[in-house]
Every structure is written in structure tokens, then in C-alpha cells.
Amino acid sequence: MMSNINKPGSFGSSRGISKKPKKDNTRKPSSTRWIGRQLNDPYVLETQKRGYKSRAAFKLLQINEKHNFLKSGLAVIDLGCAPGGWLQIASQKVCSVNGKEKVVGVDLLPTEDIPGCISIVGDILDQSVGKNLIQILGCRPNIVISDMAANTTGHRQTDHIRTTYLLESALDFAIENLQKNGVFLAKCFKGGAEIEALSLMRKYFAKVSHIKPDASRKESVEGYVIALGFKEL
């Protein structure tokens, strides 16, 4: 378990106050459950309080709390950066150097401007987009992070395979571009298809670990993998 440093305090449903969605007979039961969960999720409430772009910001905070890899002066590329929660945390941790942004992100969707960051619209599967990211950053990254996940279909194995494909794509980018001793962090659903990607990580990195931050909902299959110490074979 993570420590309490980056966990929400006692408020909302954590005080035993449960909010219920307003009745709407036209709404699907699954939608009602989702709204209820959002209303009573302390991370959602704290996200609004702190001005984060998404509750996913807490996931990166908690992962970094354990592994302490986001450090001042390092260069970061965020793959699948919208709506910008991870960009916010990364920029706070690494800071800009001499007015030069050290955090660059890309997503298929536009991301609102975030101080200390540059984000572009593009598909990381397009090699020209990857080259553009490096050019904007002005150097090879020390850290590549990815919270990319495919749109869910409701079929668990299909969703696992599609998200693993994005994991593999992010890993390919990291192996091609990371500086020596660099770090790779990405969303990783366990289910079998990810084994080849994990094997490749162990070849290129000194240490590979799975992590499920407290901000990831317990019932979710979501998890992350972090690879430390890029070897540049």
C-alpha cells in the first residue's frame, strides 16, 4: 500500500456521507452506477479541489512516491497525455530548465495548455510524430510515460489485447529513444498477452516491477509496469 502523502484526506464518502445520483428513468443502470461511483470517489473530489485535469494524476503521484524517478531537470515524454493529469504532475516534479520545457506530450485528442509543458495532437504509431516529439523536447528523454488504454468493448480479453498493443507501441518508442539509465512507465493489464512485452523490458532495463497505485480502483484490472535503468544494448 502507498503512504498517505498523496492520498485524499477525510472528506465526502470517506466521512461516511454517501451521495446518490438523481433519479432518471431514461438512464441505464450501468450509467447510474458509474455516476454514483464518481459522486462518492474521494479521488474525484480531490482532483477537483487541487485543479488536476484527471484523477489519474494521483496514480502518477503515488507511483513516483514509491520509485522517485521524476526529478528536477529530467526530460519527459508523455504518450497519450490527454486530458493532462500526468503532464501536470510531471511538470511539477521535473520543472523547466532555463525557460525550456522539459515535458512534452502527445495524444489523438487536444490537451489544454499546461504550464511547463508542450502537447501536440498526433498518433504515436506514426514515426514522424515520434521524431517531432524529440525535436520539440530538444533531446532524447530520460523518462517515457504512457497511460494509454484502448476504448473498452466490454469483452475482457479483447480489451486486454488492444491495450497490450498500445503498451508494446509505447515500449518500442522508449527503447528507440530513451537515454541511458532511463525510465519507462506504462499501463499494463495482466492477462497473458503482455508477457512478450515484459520479457523485452527485462532485456533492456535493469529492473522491471508491477505496481497498482491506490488511486486505481480495486475492482479494476488496471495496473502499471515500471522499468528502471535503460541499458542501451
Q: Domain range spanning residue 44? A: 12-50
Residues 18 and 121 in one domain: no
pLDDT digit string, tens, across residues 121-133? 999 999 999 999 9
Residue with cell 502527445: 106
In this prediction, residue 159 carries a pLDDT of 80
Q: Could you tell me which residues are beta bridge partners of residue 208?
A: 227
**Stronger pLDDT, 189 or 148, i.e. the higher one:** 148
Highest-confidence segment of 12-21, 87-96, 172-181 = 172-181
**Domains in the chain, number:** 2
Instruction: Note whether residue 111 is domain-resident.
Output: yes
Residues 127 and 38 in one domain: no
In this prediction, residue 1 carries a pLDDT of 40
Q: Burial of 106 by CB count in 10 Å (0-12 exposed, 13-18 middle, 19+ buried)?
A: buried
In this prediction, residue 25 carries a pLDDT of 53
Residues 205 and 96 in one domain: yes
Residues 6+ apart with CB under 8 A from 98: none
> Residue 9: is its pLDDT beyond 70?
no
Residues 106 and 147 in one domain: yes
Instruction: Note whether residue 173 is domain-resident.
Output: yes
Instruction: Note whether residue 193 is domain-resident.
Output: yes
pLDDT digit string, tens, across residues 145-174? 999 988 777 777 788 788 899 999 999 999
Residues 26 and 86 in one domain: no
Instruction: Note whether residue 119 is domain-resident.
Output: yes
**Catalytic annotation, pick one of 187, 207, 218, 231:** 187
Instruction: Note whether residue 80 is domain-resident.
Output: yes
In this prediction, residue 180 carries a pLDDT of 97
**Mean of pLDDT values over 26-53:** 65
Instruction: Note whether residue 196 is domain-resident.
Output: yes
Residues 35 and 93 in one domain: no
Q: How large a percentage of the chain has pLDDT more than 90?
A: 61
Residues 65 and 107 in one domain: yes
Residues 141 and 217 in one domain: yes
pLDDT digit string, tens, across residues 201-233? 999 999 999 999 999 877 777 899 999 999 977
Annotated active-site residue 218? The verdict is no
For 102, what's the count of Cα atoms within 13 Å in the CB-facing half-sphere? 19
Instruction: Give the chain's mean pLDDT.
Output: 84
Instruction: Note whether residue 6 is domain-resident.
Output: no
Residue with cell 477525510: 10
Reported for 100-103, long-range contacts at CB under 8 A and 24+ positions apart, including other chains, are 100/138, 101/137, 102/73, 102/74, 102/75, 102/76, 102/137, 103/75, 103/76, 103/77, 103/78
CA distance 167 to 12: 35
Residues 17 and 83 in one domain: no
Give the ranges where the chain is alpha helix by DSSP (H).
29-39, 42-50, 56-67, 85-94, 127-137, 156-177, 195-204
Residues 46 and 110 in one domain: no
Residue with cell 498526433: 122
Residue 148's domain is classified under what CATH number? 3.40.50.150
Residues 89 and 181 in one domain: yes
Q: Give Cα 31 to chain centroid, integer Å.
A: 24
Instruction: Note whether residue 66 is domain-resident.
Output: yes
Residues 98 and 134 in one domain: yes
**Mean of pLDDT values over 11-35:** 44
